[in-house]
Amino acid sequence: MPPEYITQVMKFVNKTWGKDESREVTLEANPGTSACERFKEFRKAGINRLSLGVQSINPEELALLGRLHSGDEAVAAFKTARAAGFDNISLDLMYGIPGQSAASFIRSVEFCLNLSIEHLSAYTLSLEEGTPLARAAAKGELPAPDPDLTADQYESLIEIMCKAGFRHYELTNYACKERESRHNLTYWKRGAYLGVGVGSHSFDGEGCRWWNVKSTESYIQRLTNQKPAIEGQEELTEAQRLDEILYLGLRIQDGLSLAEARLCCRSLELEHLLKKGWMECINDRIRVNESKWLLLDEIIIRLRA
């Protein structure tokens, strides 16, 4: 989206909900793209937080992922963003990449830290069925992801980021003080949000979700004819709502309140996991022990079985 469009969107937001200088407005961009050349314009338009998709600094890993930038271009994008006035920058990394060593991933993490970032998101690569990477792994052309190595990478990441003073506030996210991603926290805490644009999703904060049409042509036609762009919606059942509270709440360091835990969890299994050290109760909140976050799926199954 060009900066001038962002300006129009922000004018509408400020007119509708009031101007708020503390409002978080995030733009996602990839190093080496034309968007980086216009960071100053995006900042002037009202964007105050950037998320840059670095993924790796290893050329072979970047090529495998189909990324077009280099490590040098990632540094250039970051410096351009700083010069444009951005003081809240997040970088994305990936681990579990076929052929990636523990040392290679650590180099990428340290690369990001050396830039003095405010936030880091690190995701494990998922080989989705039907993708070129998945097909190559199935044919033996690429090594399949090693779950033990991935676990080691994750544990090393936690140690390095926490030692650097970052808060591991969510399963895949690390932030300096008060630099947590506010919009993502809204999703994880099941807050209400409004999706605007093609294929966007919205939530009322209770149990109703709806989504817009995925066709740009249909979206424009509906709005031109002053018709809703909504394609469908769903009402969550009580069981679905409790499942969401559980698995979203346990993704974040704040965890669940005692009241939420009583509603969502099997009490005997919860007690067992607390005694086992997989979970902990701190300040009347129930959360997964940081060292056991890799077992989150298993923990959720046990609690809701």
CATH number of 3-180: 3.30.750.200
- DSSP letter at 198 equals T
Work out the percent of the chain whose per-residue pLDDT is above 70.
99
- pLDDT of 119 > 90? The answer is yes
Where is average pLDDT lowest: 51-60, 65-74, 174-183, 215-224?
65-74
Smallest Cα–Cα separation from 175: which of 120, 242, 247, 105? 120
What's CA 105's distance to the chain center, in Å?
19
Mean pLDDT computed over 255-272: 95
pLDDT of 185 > 90? The answer is yes
Q: Which parts of 87-146 fold into alpha helices (H)?
A: 102-114, 132-138
For the record, the structure tokens of 182 come out as: 């506010």
pLDDT in tens, 218-233: 999 999 999 999 999 9
Mean pLDDT of the chain: 92
> Is residue 184 within 8 Å of residue 173, measured between CB atoms?
yes
Q: What is the pLDDT of residue 27?
A: 94
Q: Is the pLDDT assigned to residue 1 strictly greater than 90?
A: no
Which CATH number applies to 239-304? 1.10.10
- Our CA dihedral for 212, 184, 94, 250, rounded to 10 degrees, sits at -110
Give the pLDDT mean for 146-164.
93
Asked if 206 and 235 count as a contact pair (C-beta separation under 8 A), the reply is no
Residue 158's SS3 state is helix
Q: Could you tell me the pLDDT band of residue 66, with boundaries at 50, 70 and 90?
A: confident
> Could you tell me the pLDDT band of residue 80, with boundaries at 50, 70 and 90?
very high
Please say whether the beta carbons of 207 and 236 come within 8 A.
Answer: yes
Instruction: Report, as an integer, the average pLDDT of 116-141.
Output: 82
CB count in 10 Å sphere of residue 203: 20
- Based on its alpha-carbon atoms, the radius of gyration of the chain, rounded to whole angstroms, reads 21
pLDDT at 181: 97
The model's confidence at residue 127, banded by pLDDT at 50, 70 and 90, is confident
**Token output for 57:** 């600094």
Taking alpha carbons only, the member of 203, 226, 199, 225 closest to residue 213 is 199
- Tokens at 150, concatenated: 């991935």
The percent of residues above 90 in pLDDT, for the chain, comes to 81
pLDDT at 272: 96
At residue 305 the predicted structure's pLDDT band, cuts being 50, 70 and 90, is low
Instruction: Summarize the confidence of residues 133-159 as an average pLDDT.
Output: 83
DSSP designation for 166: -
Task: Map out the domains of the chain as residue ranges.
Answer: 3-180, 189-236, 239-304
Q: For residues 248 and 230, is the Cβ–Cβ distance under 8 A?
A: no
Count CA within 13 A, CB hemisphere, residue 293: 21
Give CA–CA dist 31/106, Å, rounded.
20
Least confident of 27-31, 100-104, 134-138, 270-274: 134-138
Look at residues 295, 106, 254, 274 and name the one whose alpha carbon lies nearest to residue 167.
254
Per residue in 82-98, pLDDT (tens digit) is: 999 999 999 999 999 98
Asked if the domains 3-180 and 239-304 are classified in one and the same CATH topology, the answer is: no
Which pLDDT tens digit goes with each residue over 103-114?
Answer: 999 999 999 999
CA distance 198 to 143: 37
